[in-house]
Structure 1
Amino acid sequence: MPFAEIIGQDRAVGSLRAALARGALHHAYLFGGPAGVGKGAAARLLAQAANCEGPAAAGADACGACGPCTRIARGLHPDVLFLAEEREMAKAGRWEPKGGRTPSKEIVVDQIRELVDRRLGMKRFEGRRRFVVVDPADAMNVQAQNALLKTLEEPPDDTTLVLVSSSPDGLLATIKSRCLRVPFAPLPDELVSARLLAEGWEPAAARVAAALAGGSLGRALGLDAEALEERRQAVEEAASLDPADAGAWLGYAARAGKDRDLARETCELLLVWLRDVLAVGVAGDGATLALPDLAPLSRRAAEALPPPAVLRRRDRVQQALRALRQNGAPALALERMLIGWFHG
């Protein structure tokens, strides 16, 4: 069934299906959680389930194949409205900024006024329940959020608004207080890896992608499987550097720092590997590792480094990541990281 598309979110999906079964959908939801864990898909599936005319119509799921389900999936149902950043809606031909100005990266007040004054003022066309999905809700500027408040307080009959947000705490308190929050959690690495294997990924690449994705299936699916091998090799090389060979450090920093994305993802993978080192130091060979392919390196590092030294290395990697996110020179950030590793 369609809700089965959402993996690893049993609590969130369970609460939505229970509300559907009771016929007691809330007038406004806030789906909050990391990017790429199924929030947007869950909003679409909720709208499908509430308007399904297929065999599942009497239950708490959608058939995915009837007219309403297919039109909602294609974004063509007249009673299910999707609101996104102004530039994205303009690109899709669904919105034209007033005054001929350049479309904004935000959801602006004009979009909310168009929604409230025109679209929500009309009667429903065909669906049992109207939905408005704002994704990403984080893109609403302050004026747009304030313009939406009255509708959140007093929505039209048989209407549900769903705000989809990767940073729900950044929304106005008045917005959050008027929505029923449905939290979506980061996905376990094993679930992400299993999904990638089902998509035809090689096992080693799937494990590395899952480790890098931070619980986001969307991010994992967006990674380049071939490029991941370069990241894994960079981690393996860093783990094998000789503390006494400064020339090797500089060479490594130059190679791994030739590209900002490579340097950033190498640092993110180093954090995962160093977590494995700490796990081996505590649990020995019984430790569950995120990067089992690097288990021999993890064991050697755990034997050579006391936990405070491993933690110091993690701290230096995090400093390098902060520098990279602030447009620091990649090679220089990695050089400073390695100096901290060996002479911190």
Structure 2
Amino acid sequence: MQEVEKVLGHEEVIRHLQNAVEKEQVSHSYIFAGEKGSGKKLLAKLFAMTLQCEEHKKEPCMHCSSCRKAMSRNHPDIIYVEHVKPTSIGIEEIREQLVSDVEIKPYTGPYKIYIVDEAEKMTIQAQNALLKTIEEPPAYAVILLLANNNTGLLPTITSRCVTLNFKPVRDEVIRKYLMEELHVPDYQADVSVAFAQGNVGKAKQIATAEDFTEMMDAAFRILRRGSDMEVYEMVDALKNLSEQKHTIYEYLDLFLVWFRDVLLFKATKEMDSLVFKDEYNFIKERADKSSYEGLETIIKAIETAKARLQANVNFDLTMELLFLTIREN
């Protein structure tokens, strides 16, 4: 089986890249835009391998010397730009690893390819330093900016790059992959698919988590006991959970799926379409208590809380506002 066929979804992106290779119209700079876990890194690696492959086809052959080096990340002309600070990529890192380095011709391959993961973390200065290279690149340079959220990139950068958007992968494709390739039981696959919202990485992570059931139970305890707990107790409980193992975003995504179930049950009164069928009694009880508008307000509030945390707004404040909304509605 070809490596590219193992990529779930993203047919449009793959088609675009393969056409560019076949017609020899590879752009000097690309933005791969899509959330974490959507498959950007895997496709960037495969695209880089294809460009350097000694067989010069539209997919990497996987057995030539160039492909073997690339697979073990030892290819001298495929450079992964590293950064020390987890929250930012600085001007020195971009200058040293990319801007200065790109002046040196490729060692072995026809191209010199730079992969910048989490490119939205580049500081303004780093982006400005990169701009000149993007405007006047050497003929052999290809720069791949992988962005979880490309609103962090300057318009001067985005306007000079080809942007490829990684859209959510269809639920049935992910479900089939989880059950057939990873042998995940159907209930767990259903929950993982609903939780992942089209993100393969996220679905895989949650489906294969050893403490999958524990994580769900912990999240549900907070939701079930919401009316008996003080807001600060709920915030503390969630803080403790997200400090132990899973990220806060995973718990918020579980909340989201749970409240979507409540809304769905309120509208249909049917149990079959629920993701969390085991939670039937609690979901029914919540559906009786809340109005349609109230549930929609809660779902919006969970989305807002995720966005605020990504923008580094204070954790306690964000969670307090969320739990107040859950209590009030």
Larger mean CA deviation between 220-229 and 315-324 belongs to: 315-324
Is residue 327 of structure 1 aligned with residue 309 of structure 2? no
Q: TM-score, normalised by structure 2?
A: 0.79
Q: What residue identity is the alignment partner of 2:255?
A: L
Q: What residue identity is the alignment partner of 2:6?
A: E
Q: What residue identity is the alignment partner of 1:46?
A: F
Q: Residue 40 of structure 1 aligns with which residue?
A: 41
Q: What residue identity is the alignment partner of 1:32?
A: A
Q: TM-score, normalised by structure 1?
A: 0.76
Take 2:198 and 2:65, find their aligned partners in 1: how far apart are those partners?
34
Q: What residue identity is the alignment partner of 1:203?
A: D
Instruction: Spell out, residue by residue over 1:276-319, the C-alpha distance to the aligned partner (whole angstroms, 9 max, x if none).
Output: 23234445549854445546654665566542242344456567
SS of the aligned residue for 2:211 comes to helix
Take 1:289 and 1:269, find their aligned partners in 2: how far apart are those partners?
13
Q: How does 1:1-344 map to 2 (within 5 A)?
A: 1-53=2-54, 57-85=55-83, 87=84, 106-115=88-97, 118-197=100-179, 198-223=181-206, 225-234=209-218, 237=221, 248-249=228-229, 253=234, 256-257=237-238, 259-261=240-242, 264=248, 265-283=250-268, 285=270, 288-294=273-279, 298=283, 301-302=286-287, 305-314=290-299, 326-328=314-316, 336=324, 339-341=327-329
Q: What residue identity is the alignment partner of 1:69?
A: C
Take 1:105 and 1:335, find their aligned partners in 2: how far apart are those partners?
27
SS of the aligned residue for 1:120 comes to helix
Q: What residue identity is the alignment partner of 1:187?
A: V
1:77 Cα offset (Å): 1.2
SS of the aligned residue for 1:164 comes to strand
The gaps in structure 1 that reach 5 residues or longer are 88-102
Take 2:193 and 2:45, find their aligned partners in 1: how far apart are those partners?
25
SS of the aligned residue for 2:164 comes to strand
1:272 Cα offset (Å): 1.2
1:150 Cα offset (Å): 1.4
Larger mean CA deviation between 116-125 and 140-149 belongs to: 116-125
Q: What residue identity is the alignment partner of 2:42?
A: A
Larger Rg, first or second structure (1 or 2): 1
Cα 1:304–1:3 change in 2 (3 A) is: same
Over the matched positions of the two proteins, sequence identity in percent amounts to: 27
**RMSD between aligned residues:** 3.6
Take 1:256 and 1:65, find their aligned partners in 2: how far apart are those partners?
51
1:236 Cα offset (Å): 5.0
SS of the aligned residue for 2:79 comes to strand
Instruction: Spell out, residue by residue over 1:231-263, the C-alpha distance to the aligned partner (whole angstroms, 9 max, x if none).
Output: 43356556666x9xx6x4469949954724179
Contact kept, 8 Å, 2:50 with 2:56, in 1: the verdict is no
Number of residue equivalences: 318
Instruction: Spell out, residue by residue over 1:189-236, the C-alpha distance to the aligned partner (whole angstroms, 9 max, x if none).
Output: 444444343224343333333333343333344447343313433565
SS of the aligned residue for 1:25 comes to coil
1:158 Cα offset (Å): 2.7
Q: What residue identity is the alignment partner of 2:292?
A: P
Take 2:265 and 2:323, find their aligned partners in 1: how far apart are those partners?
27
Contact kept, 8 Å, 1:319 with 1:337, in 2: the verdict is no
Instruction: Spell out, residue by residue over 1:1-47, the C-alpha distance to the aligned partner (whole angstroms, 9 max, x if none).
Output: 12123212111111111111212111111111111111111111111
Cα 1:177–1:280 change in 2 (3 A) is: same
Contact kept, 8 Å, 2:98 with 2:114, in 1: the verdict is no
Larger mean CA deviation between 228-237 and 16-25 belongs to: 228-237
Contact kept, 8 Å, 1:19 with 1:25, in 2: the verdict is yes
SS of the aligned residue for 1:175 comes to helix
Q: What residue identity is the alignment partner of 2:154?
A: L
